[in-house]
Amino acid sequence: MSLRSKVLALLEVFLRVPPLFVVDEFLKISLGLPVSSGEEVLVLSNVTVDHVDVPESDGNYYDANFYNAFFFTFFKFVVCCLGCMSSLCVFVLYTKHLIIVYLYIISLGIVFISYWVNVSAIKQIQTLTQAVASAQPSASILEDILNLNVKNLLDLDGPGFLVIQNFVMQYSLSYLFKNVHLGPHHQTIQKMLPLSFMAPSFLAMLPVPPSFLHHSPVFSTLLPLFLINYVLWYSAYTIVQVIYTGYQHGRLFVSNYGLSALVETEWMRLNVPCVLRVFWVLRVAEQAILLLVDNYEDDTEEALKVSTLLAVQSLASMAKSLLVTGCETITAVLGMTSVISFFCHYIGNFFQWILLTDEEEDKSIGTVSAILFYILALQTGLTSLNPEKRFIRLCRNFCLLFTALLHFLHNIVNPILMSLSASHNPSTHRHVRALGVCAFLILFPLSLLVYLWSQHSVSTWLLAVSAFSIEVVVKVVVSLMIYSLFLIDAYRSTFWEQLDDYVYYIRAFGNTIEFCFGIFLFFNGAWILLFESGGAIRAVMMCIHAYFNIWCEARAGWSVFMKRRTAVNKINSLREASSDQLNQLDDVCAICYQEMHSAKITRCNHYFHGVCLRKWLYVQDRCPLCHDILYKIENDPKDNNSEAGNEENSNNQNLLLEEEPDLLPGDGVR
């Protein structure tokens, strides 16, 4: 991407940030809805209308006040909602339409700035003129200009200097307005604009009545306001047409490709993550500047000579305040989520660089972390807490996010470990890198647990963090044990038949531990929901956890266990090959191409390793060589149709096993 393209992309991002600030301001005031404090609730709770005699006239007065307050609150809420919707509509505009909107807003802002500058200047000029006239009755600004009295004109405390200053300011504003306004650029109108802006300054030099001079700033805004209103009315049809075209485009896109495709396309077009990051950084920078200004105004000469410790404490307090204010609204939480996603993405890239891998699936760590943090923020009601509780909750959410990040890192290193051990990779530095990451994934959560349990009392949050940390340690230990078994098998000269059983038992142990932790976390969440902080989002997340992490995992684990047990029974029903038969055969297993020191003989008189044949039975019940039935079920004399029943049973088992053709016996209870 060229430098010009990068600059344009950055400019487009900055153009979409102001609508988010508008929405954020509306959310700060809770969309105009009143927020009652605890004291107000206490006062209201002490008032009982049943025991107070209210005259009829007073009752009507209170009813009228209540009606007016309700109407005013409802009006504010509607205005705030319309403001939020308008800001979001501006946010999703295309760049060319967005530029037009900003040009219109800038031109309107210039008119108001010109008006207030003229009002302020006229008031000061009138005050100074009266003071000068009382001392020198014959003096005036026009005479000083005609007589070229430079001394009076350049006097900083004189009215002449204010007039010149206002001239320069108004001419600059008129020049800027001429270039940004969207009205008709006729030559006559363009020439009249500077005169309109500078008219109050001209009138201030003439002996006009004070009342007329006082109202002159209003008349100076008539021409630019006419141009602005003309643009608004002239573009009304175009605005409606753009909105309708956007609606038609979205509707057609959804009907052809689906809602998810539309969201993904617009997400990429608007560059939402980058916009949210810039919004949050600017918002935090604004809060930091305000805090620094407040601290600077409160500091004295003695306070400036603080020690380094006090300076560090001040920085820590400032960082805490910025974190608290950085998640006080939904838009602020979205911005913080985007920043966290950015850092998590580069953390994942760092570990990928260490492990010398570049898998595309592992690059989603930033997206998954962002979703998890945002769900935690909504689930814990982060924006509705007071500042102190919000900071504590934010730190706890960060701890949960860090433990989840460790699980993501294990998902990156685990397939690399299995690949290095199973492929007999001789690259020592790759083994060392992978083992170093595993050591980090064991030591860091253990250190975190030691610190948390030494600094905090037992709570549901601490139990949840502990469960996640212990779970990641168990998963890493299981991966290292399987990695060690594969390495041992790589240096063996003979086929290791028990390897598959050992791998299955280790994985079954790890998956059983994870399943138990899933049940524990469900009950822990249920306790929080019932006795600490309930909510619809937490209830929904618990239902999702119960279905996917408990019910689906238990069903899948039981299915694998039953299929493995069925396969073992089938293998045990086959004859074991003797040493003489193996010596006479003098061949390798047709499945793994390894030498056979022990084997099973099928009904079709073919020889295979028992372990290899068991793996094959996870795919189908027929011989890999001749496709005959591998095992024979004893006929039941009481069944008249035993042969047909056996054939039907075999077909049903084939259909059942073909549902998961990639399942291997070492996959564990999952």
Judge contact between 168 and 213, C-beta under 8 A: no
Q: Positive or negative, the Cα torsion across 397, 398, 399, 402?
A: positive
Q: What are phi and psi of 593, to 5 degrees?
A: 60, 35
In 528-589, which ranges are continuous DSSP H helix? 536-545, 552-572, 579-585
Q: Is the pLDDT of residue 364 over 50?
A: yes
Homologous superfamily (CATH) of 571-667 is Zinc/RING finger domain, C3HC4 (zinc finger) (3.30.40.10)
For position 146, what pLDDT does the model report? 54
Q: 340 falls in which pLDDT band (50, 70, 90)?
A: very high
Q: Is the pLDDT of residue 107 over 50?
A: yes
Mean pLDDT confidence for 450-466: 92
Judge contact between 610 and 598, C-beta under 8 A: yes
Most confidently modeled of 117-131, 142-156, 289-303, 464-478? Answer: 464-478
Q: Is the pLDDT of residue 297 over 70?
A: no
For position 131, what pLDDT does the model report? 61
Mean pLDDT confidence for 482-504: 81
Would you give the DSSP letter of residue 62? H
Q: Is the pLDDT of residue 120 over 80?
A: yes
Q: Is the pLDDT of residue 365 over 60?
A: yes
Q: What percent of the chain has pLDDT over 70?
A: 81
Q: What is the pLDDT of residues 266-283, one digit of tens each?
A: 999 999 999 999 999 999
Q: Is the pLDDT of residue 93 over 70?
A: yes
All residues at 6 or more sequence positions from 197 whose CB lies less than 8 Å from its CB, including other chains: 114, 170, 171, 173, 174, 177, 220, 224
Alpha-carbon distance values, 479 to 173, 440, 476 (Å): 69, 14, 5
Mean pLDDT confidence for 28-51: 53
Token representation of residue 216: 């002159």
Q: What is the pLDDT of residues 384-416, one digit of tens each?
A: 888 899 999 999 999 999 999 999 999 999 999
The amino acid sitting at 366 is G
For position 374, what pLDDT does the model report? 92
Would you give the DSSP letter of residue 550? I
For position 664, what pLDDT does the model report? 36
Q: What is the pLDDT of residues 584-626, one digit of tens each?
A: 888 888 888 788 888 888 888 888 888 888 777 766 778 888 8
Give the length of the chain: 670
For position 583, what pLDDT does the model report? 82
For position 105, what pLDDT does the model report? 92
Q: What is the pLDDT of residues 178-226, one digit of tens each?
A: 998 888 888 888 889 988 998 888 887 777 787 888 888 888 899 999 9
Mean pLDDT confidence for 316-345: 91
Judge contact between 635 and 642, C-beta under 8 A: yes
For position 142, what pLDDT does the model report? 56
Of 176 and 500, which is predicted with more confidence? 176
Q: 154 falls in which pLDDT band (50, 70, 90)?
A: low
The amino acid sitting at 78 is V
Q: How do the residues of the chain divide into helix, strand and coil, expressed in percent and rounded to 5?
A: 80, 0, 20
Spatial strand order in the sheet of 607-608: 575-576, 600-601, 607-608
Token representation of residue 517: 């932790």
E strand map for 475-583 = 575-576
Q: Is the pLDDT of residue 243 over 90?
A: no
Q: Is the pLDDT of residue 637 over 50?
A: no
Q: d(Cα 186, Cα 184) in Å, to the nearest integer? A: 6
Of 586 and 453, which is predicted with more confidence? 453
Token representation of residue 479: 């991966």
Q: What is the pLDDT of residues 525-575, one digit of tens each?
A: 888 888 887 778 888 888 988 998 899 988 988 888 887 777 777 777 788
Q: What percent of the chain has pLDDT over 90?
A: 31
Q: What is the pLDDT of residues 248-265, one digit of tens each?
A: 999 999 999 999 899 999
Which of the residue ranges 274-283, 345-354, 362-371, 422-431 would you say has the lowest mean pLDDT? 422-431
Of 48 and 421, which is predicted with more confidence? 421
Q: What DSSP assignment string belongs to 158-222?
A: SHHHHHHHHHHHHHHHHHHHHHH--S---HHHHHHHHHHHHHHHHHHHS---HHHHHHHHHHHTH
Q: Is the pLDDT of residue 635 over 80?
A: no
The enclosing H or E element of 607 equals strand 607-608
Q: 444 falls in which pLDDT band (50, 70, 90)?
A: very high
Alpha-carbon distance values, 316 to 78, 310, 340, 450, 531 (Å): 40, 10, 20, 24, 33
Does the pTM surpass 0.85? The reply is no
Judge contact between 395 and 373, C-beta under 8 A: no
Average pLDDT, the chain: 80
Of 56 and 439, which is predicted with more confidence? 439
The amino acid sitting at 562 is M
For position 421, what pLDDT does the model report? 83
For position 41, what pLDDT does the model report? 35
Domain ranges of the chain: 1-37+59-91, 97-234, 571-667
Q: 443 falls in which pLDDT band (50, 70, 90)?
A: very high
Q: 138 falls in which pLDDT band (50, 70, 90)?
A: very low
